[in-house]
Amino acid sequence: MRWVDLPAGRVRVFDSGGTLPCIVFTPDGPNVIEHHLPVLALLRQDFRVICFDMPGFGLSWPSAAYSHSLDQGAATVLQLMDRLAIDRATLAFSCANGLYALRVALRAPQRVHSLFLAQTPSLAAMQAWAHKTVPGVLRVPVAGQLVGWAARERAARSWYRQALPRDTDPEPFRGIARHAMRCGACFSLAGVVQGLLRESEASLRDVAAPCTVLWGNADRSHRATAPDALRALVPHAQVIESVDCGHFPDLEQPERYVALLRAHLSRC
C-alpha cells in the first residue's frame, strides 16, 4: 500500500508488483481498497493487480482543481499507469468509475487491453439515476460537497441497505467503510454526480476495446436501470446478469467474479 502524488491529488494505491499481465481496479465508493482484498488475493498469483481509490474517495484526497470530469478521471488513470510503469492493462471498474474507464479506452486505446465493468450503465442512464435517486442538494456545487461530507457515514449506511440484496447482511460492508471514514476517508458522491451531470454521451462513443459488463439484478438502487443500458455506448459489450447479486457483484461473490474475469480475459 502506498500513496502516489498526481495532479488530481494524492492517490492511495495497492500494487502487488511484478511483470505479470496487469488488471487495474478502483472501488465504487463508499467502498475502499480493503473491500477488494479478497478479489485481489484470488488474482495476484497470475496477474499484477492494482487497486486505487479515485480522487475524492477512500483516502485519496482530491486537489482543489479536481472536478470529477470524464477527462480528469481518465487522465488520473493514465498518469497513475505511467507512474507505475504499466504499458497496458485491463480496467476492472464499476458503476460511475466504468465511465472513466470508457474515456481512458477512447483517449489511449493502446493502453487498454479490455474493459471488465460491473454495474455500469450508459451516461444517460447514470444521469437519470442521479436526478431520481440523489438528493437535490448534492447536485448543487459547494453546498452539495458540504452536506455530503457532514452526512457521509449516514449516506453510506443507507446506500448499502439499498444496493445489496435484501437477504445480504450489510454490516461487513458498512464496518469497513465506517472504519475508513473515521480514519479520514472521503465519499465525494456530490462531486462525482455534479461532474457527470455536466458531461455528454458523445464523449464516450466508439469504444473499440473488448468489454464485458456484470449486472446484479438484486440492486434496488438501480431497479429502474436496464442491465444492458451500456450498449447504447458500447454495442459490442457482453452483458452478464446475476439474479442473486446487488450493486457489487465483484465483492458479493468474489470467486464467481474472478471466474468470469478469467473467462473474459481468455476471450480477449
189-226 pLDDT tens trace? 889 999 999 999 999 999 999 999 999 999 999 989 99
Which architecture characterizes domain 2-267 according to CATH? Answer: 3-Layer(aba) Sandwich (3.40)
The predicted pLDDT at position 103 comes to 98
Task: For residue 203, count CB atoms less than 10 angstroms from its CB and return exposed for 0-12, middle for 13-18, buried for 19 or more.
Answer: middle
In this prediction, residues 62-91 reach a mean pLDDT of 97
**pLDDT band of 247, cuts 50, 70, 90:** very high
Distance between CA atoms of residues 216 and 252, nearest Å? 10
- Could you tell me the CA-to-CA distances from 243 to 66, 216, 218 in Å, in that order? 37, 6, 6
The predicted pLDDT at position 144 comes to 83
The predicted pLDDT at position 116 comes to 98
- The answer, as to whether pTM is greater than 0.85, is yes
Asked whether the predicted pLDDT for residue 152 surpasses 90, the reply is no
Distance between CA atoms of residues 80 and 84, nearest Å? 6
In this prediction, residues 173-190 reach a mean pLDDT of 94
Asked whether the predicted pLDDT for residue 234 surpasses 90, the reply is yes
Asked whether the predicted pLDDT for residue 184 surpasses 90, the reply is yes
List alpha helices for the chain, DSSP H. Answer: 37-43, 70-83, 97-107, 123-133, 143-150, 152-163, 171-182, 189-197, 249-252, 254-267
CA-CA-CA-CA torsion sign (182, 69, 204, 226): positive
CA proximity to 96, closest of 180, 27, 187, 185? 27
Average pLDDT across the chain, whole number? 95
**pLDDT band of 113, cuts 50, 70, 90:** very high
The predicted pLDDT at position 128 comes to 94
Contact in structure between 126 and 99 (CB atoms under 8 Å): yes
The predicted pLDDT at position 146 comes to 86
Q: What are phi and psi of 229, to 5 degrees?
A: -60, -35
CA proximity to 9, closest of 68, 50, 84? 68
